Structure 1
């Protein structure tokens, strides 16, 4: 009996964009697969093309070479099967409450009626512990709360894969750690599939069950680390961070995040 096909297949993907008359190569022949319920992290330094890869998976950027498929279907445009969470705080509609921000895309797809959309929104609001701010407007929320709402809005759409582009990068260190914990708690509750981009080694180790390491510009696969447990003690975490740092930056001695 053959193994099930991966949820997401990225094969030989080269991405280019133009700066004036010059073609800049962001990634070169990148391959990876994402399985159902993976917490798959793309890790690399700034400029390695990891955000460009996420945009290509989202259908916003067409590969120059190679293919991207989800569920065996070629990705040619954005779709509700792939929801994206960005790092910017201002992803929410300022004139709508938290509940209304989550309901809005559910209604826009025309798959649910108003009551069904509201029930689903409240389910995810409760799951994320946002009940107390459900009727608050974005300007009344902290940065961490806004990001939590953006994540929950994506989850409520129940996409095949949730795409996260450095979603916690603009938060202060303590809020960032709390949001990482909350993302993992949400994943434990519903086991959604997430493709997460970061330049932080420590964040990749904390979030990822699998980590793809990209070389500096243009991004090429340097290594893939699979079946990673969540490090339960600081020593194991630091050891894994050191290993990743050595793979990304040969010749340097200590991990840096």
Structure 2
């Protein structure tokens, strides 16, 4: 599932994003309110986690403008503003939850999962835990991958990498994006970590199949999509 985190404290943002990524979420991070609103309006997220006190525009304004634009993305406020009036205000604006800093990551994770389960229950026909591209299927809940009914064993990093590529199927993802989303690392153009991981993943999901799904666009990045042989 894809989440948006809007947090201006860099260390806090890195800590939260790393923890969520390790729990199989794909996380986009914005460091100010203007970027956060742009991300929220431009993409489809399963949940947005917003600080209230942000540079540019605050979290209150983000949810107001998002709702005015017709975006119904579930929102959780994560903020040091702990007055009862603030909590009430956040919930009245349409937030699903309001978590006060300092917080434990385990509680944040639990609340995130509760919101996502609630959203799934409200639309029972949607199998949001399943990703599919052609005959390749990834089950986020069971942590399993199949192609043409054949089970494919992946490492944790390979699973995260494949889930990101499948969520954004047809979109060219740069090595920098993959590094930030899967490895949570500042990108070193000299490293071959991403290239090695892509080669290993391709060998597992493509080598034994006629139709190839994982493609390299030289100088641009990688894309997962069906291209008939």
* TM-score of the aligned structures, taking structure 2 as reference length: 0.30
Judging by fraction of residues, say which structure has more helix: 2
* TM-score of the aligned structures, taking structure 1 as reference length: 0.28
Structure with higher RCO (Cα < 8 A, 6+ apart): 1
